Structure 1
Amino acid sequence: DRWNKIIEPLTFFKIVPFLKKVQRIAEISDTCLVMIRHDPDTSQTYFEDIRGEFVMFLPKDENPKQVGTLIINYLYDTGETGSDAQRTMRRVEVWDEEKWGIYLYSPILGELKEIDSGENPYGFIPGVPFQPQEDDNTFFGISTINDIVKINEIYNNMWTSLTRIVVFQSFSILVVTTDGQLEVVVAPTRFIKFEGSEKGTSDAKYITPEPKIEEARKVLIDLKSELQNFSQVPTEIISQTGGTQFPQSGYALRIRRIPIENLYEDRRMSYGPALRKLVQMTVKVDEIHTNTGSKDRKYHEIKTNIKFSPTVHDMDPQEQAIKDEQEIKYGIISAVDMMQRKDSSLTREEAKKKIESNKKEMEDLGMTAFGDEESAFKNVEELKARANVTRQGIEQSARNKVEKEGEEK
């Protein structure tokens, strides 16, 4: 309820678009820091997103893996019409677990002025960094945005080289043949004149090479595919059906998209811990300023119930039934998991009670087949057999057609 109250002012903009903006900034800047602020005049807790270029983290002395100091630092124009020293200032905000401070620094004069400071009322830094998942085998480096820039740069250079090759290969060359000595005079104001060609035969003609543009283009497209693989975007996801006569089915395209969808899902799920931490910190900050809740409770002790919907497309009923059959057979899932899939708001205990309630109702109605996995998946086996018969019929029909065409020839 407290979280809903805090994000209520964002309902005009929607909290989901705000989080999408955070994710987009994180993908581009490698980090998006979400600061949790509180306005004492309105008693409102709100968020501020800050690009990674303006953020610096210093490690703790006792544990270098943890953030000890947060520094937000950016240059801005004061609007003053005087000297550059008055016009250009740098705002520096510093947070650690004990204190905070805001300073103005003049890069030209080298002067530092304190604007405001105080004790940290939270005992923790009220900021959550959202960072994209790191790829272990990137081709050019760690940051994915650098990969994209490099790949695009190389691709553009290749197109430039191709353009030069085509231009050079398209130049017509004048070839002159003669039996005797020949003096060729070329001037801008007259045609080509041959001197001393009376005693022999002379000939002049243009030779225009074939630039092989399509072949060069094909080579470049192949190189593009390799670059896409280097940038960890599978080429089969981006490339179209090409010169095939028949378009691919939706199911085939879906199967080919599975690798990239799994990658997108992994990257999206990598923001889950940061979002959970944001909710916990926000609730704690609001409790401190409104004097509600337990003062001794740490923010990480606040229980949250955040669920992330998968980004991979749902399977059709037949595919889902086959998958469930295998997972139930090997104990990977149970009826409780299937009930929670149907209603994600249920806890495991509530799902168990719901199953028992449904089972009792069906027994009261005389429907004893409930819970019989063999009968539950009977239709699946029938679908498999029917699909097999249909496939065999199609193959036989194709063979008959080929044999008939052979007899006609």
Structure 2
Amino acid sequence: MNDFRILLIDDDRLFRNSLVDLIEAAGWKAKPLARATEAARWITQFAPDVILSDVRMPEMTGLELLKDLKNAPPVVLISAHGDIPMAVEAMNEGAYSFVEKPYDPKRLLLILSHAAEQHRMRESNQRLKERLQELSGLDVRLLGETPEMVGLRQTIAIMTQSASPVLILGETGTGKDLVARLLHDTSDRCDGPFIAINAAQVTAAQLPVVAQAAAGGTLFLDEISACPMDIQPALLRLCESQEVFLPDAVSPEKVDLRILSATNEDTAQAVRDGRLRQDLLFRLEGLSIKLPTLAARLDDIPLLAQRFLSDSAKAFGVSAVDLTQDDISALIAHSWPGNVRELRNVVDRFLMSAQQGTPRMADAISGVDHDGASKPGLREAVAAFERQMIGRAIQENAGRMDDAAADLGIGRRTLNEKIVKLGLDKDALL
């Protein structure tokens, strides 16, 4: 049962009382008023989800109230003298709906329920946006208000004060690379380089090069459990004594760096399987962080989704979209095997579908359109659109690139870069 709050305004005492009985029988709270002039004060004190007001009243009519209210909850007008011009005027002034007396109780409750739900959803989205604006530092880059995320930020804040190696553990898509970057950016090495490599693909020749490149800063080794066994002795030396052997060198060279590593595997199992040296693991996990899955922090999903929607809308120059209650319900109900990375991709698909019609988060999660066709991500769709626009401009200008760039409203250099990035064949277009 919803606990909606309804502000009732009607100068007819008997009719007003009958409305109160109807509202309270539905399990909602009602605040009855005889005059619209009292509405502003009670909007502040009672915080209604919707206002139900008669139209013809002394001192101030319902239409005058509607025009007078600013940033108020939805207003539903009800009148025994309703006609089409009055209803049209009411809707033009921003009324949520117009109901004639005598009314159908079920229909009235349905209208009030939808209006109240819309108001709460709008307020929820506003709170999310305000919260995003308030966040700073680690809060902004490592978003979330669940105990898991609050604890994670506190742990990172402590670890930034240490020079010890850190092993970051977590499933795919939980943000291990983001945490590594935060550990660097909030440390006293933040002005030094941050070098990230895939430990599964590094060679012996590459290791001293990347170690030197990270001198004075941080070396981040991703997928450390898959590091080739023949590289692990050199990596152990780097961890223990911060030394590397350069090609043809007779003695090691010192490098000043902090080592961070990450894996989505069970490191103890990797040791038992003979894929990861026990002594190397001991050195790498001087400190360790276990990142929570997205399924373990469901309460963070609306905030994350709203942030990703805002970021993607800005990045691709499209209109922002607010989440509905159905959207949030679909997000919460999903299991998120791909974690935060999957959520970002889902948000991109949802935003793209919003540019083409009415979006449904459930479709974005499943990755299909209403007709069951596979739905591309926002980046793929934008790239396809750019290919079409650039190809058409090149054809219409008979290959004259300066003219094509002018038609597209971009510089010649930018056009050339996009042609290369999008894999366009200019000759094939002409």
Specify the TM-score bucket, using the shorter chain as the normaliser: under 0.3
Structure with the bigger percentage of strand: 1
Q: TM-score, normalised by structure 2?
A: 0.19
